[in-house]
Each structure stands twice: as C-alpha cells, then as structure tokens.
Structure 1
Amino acid sequence: MRQISIDWFRLFRYSLLFIAFSLMVTILMLIYFSNSLEEAWQKGLMLTLKEVEITIELSLTLFIYISFPVLLFRFMYYFSKMLYRGRREGVAILTYKTLFNPLNFLLFPSLLNPNGLVYRRRCIMALLLMILIYLIILLIT
C-alpha cells in the first residue's frame, strides 16, 4: 500500500471537470424542457436552489452509471494482466501461497514481479474508486 500515491491537484481538476459536467447537464435540461432558447434563458435566470440541487444529483447519478462499468472493466483488465504477466517465476495461479484464491495476489505483493506490482496498484485504485461510488450512491439515497 506504500506504493499508492494520491495526486491532489489531479483530483481537484477532476472535481472542476465534474462541476463543468453538471453545468452542461443543467443547460441541456433547460433547453430540452423549454419551447425556445429565450424561454430557457429566462428559466435559467430564475433557477432555485432546489432545482440546482436536483440537477447536481442527476448529473452525479449519470456520472456514477457511466464510471462504474468503466472501473469494473479496468479492474478486470489489469487483474487478468496481473495474473498472467505479473506473477513471479514459479508461482501458479492456484497455489497454497495464495490459499487457492487468485484474489489474494492483491494481498501478497511478494508473489508479484515489478510489472505485477504496477497492475496490482491499478487494480486497487479501481476497487477503491468503486467503493467510493457505492458510498456516494448510499449518500444520495
């Protein structure tokens, strides 16, 4: 776990990107539910705090439904690479060293070569982000 580092500046940029995404969703919703651009502009000037909150929740839900499958695919991709290219010489996939469970390669970095450690870090980051998404879903509901 010492090899995992968090780039706070990058996370800040992603949060700014999410704010821009929420703004775009708000604008598109206003245009979609209005008869003309002028009416959308007038509605945009009179948005209440509740409507902005609903828009942020909708854009967050859309973001979650897009990012969860991407993170799941990322985990499966790097986990398979870790199993087939990241194991040390002479370590089988199903062995007593991993207690006959391939997921234990994530827990025992001594069984991995340097490439496997990189794949392990990427798998753990994908898992942590999926857990964070689940927590956000629980907070929304």
Structure 2
Amino acid sequence: MSIKTYSELIALPTFEERFRYLKLSGQVGVDTFGFDRWLNQAFYKSKEWLAIRDHVIFRDNGCDLGVKGRDIHSRVLIHHMNPITKEDILNRSDFLLNPEYLITTMKITHDAIHYGDESILFNEPITRTKNDTCPWRHD
C-alpha cells in the first residue's frame, strides 16, 4: 500500500479525483481495533487530537476533501488518509497528528472512502425548471 499525502491530494482538482485517490476497499463488519477500541476512542478525545483537528478543518475551509464549494453543513470528520492501527496510537506514529496525512470530510464521504462505494456519495444538485414536478402543466 502506498502512503497517501495531503500534498498529492490537493494537486487533484476535482472531488471525484480526490475520492478515488483516497478510497479503500474495506468491508462492513471487519474490526480495525476490536477489543482495543478504547484506545482510539481515548485518542480522539485527547487535547492534541482536538487541536490538530481544528487546524485541519481551518486549513480545508470546512470543505469536504478540501474542495472549494463542497462546504460541510453537518458533522465534520477528520479522515486519516492512511488507516491507523493500535500500534500507531501506542507508538504515536507520524500518521496520527501530522496534517500531511489528514483531510476534512463528512460522514457519507468518509463511509464511501472506507467501503470503496462511490454510489453513496451526494451527486451535484438537480437544476430545477418551471413545472418540472407537475407534468400536466406546460406553461
């Protein structure tokens, strides 16, 4: 597996390209921390994580995958571009808190990245026209 970086990610101009760069082929129900889940839960409440989280959100302007115009209006997540392990937390690896390996995202995009499922992503808004929901009107 190659190491994914923010520097490479932001060179990709579109949301779709960035998603494809990040997507994994995870499987539903596969444990990443198992019984040691308390480790990552404690980490995500730490002062150091909360500080870097704020930094990354500010850097990315609160936009999904840092793409201008894809503002997040719901819960903001910070995605580790290289999946972390129990050992990463215990050894405080560079992947944990280095902004070069983190990106702002929203839950649905985060899920799509982990499951490699592009079909669950939001599409561009539909352009509405007069009477398009009322087929018997033609004025």
Instruction: Give the TM-score normalised by the residue count of structure 1.
Output: 0.24
TM-score (norm 2): 0.24
Q: Greater helix share, 1 or 2?
A: 1
Q: Which structure shows the higher strand fraction?
A: 2
Higher relative contact order, structure no. (Cα contacts within 8 Å, ≥ 6 residues apart) = 2
The structure with the larger Rg is 1
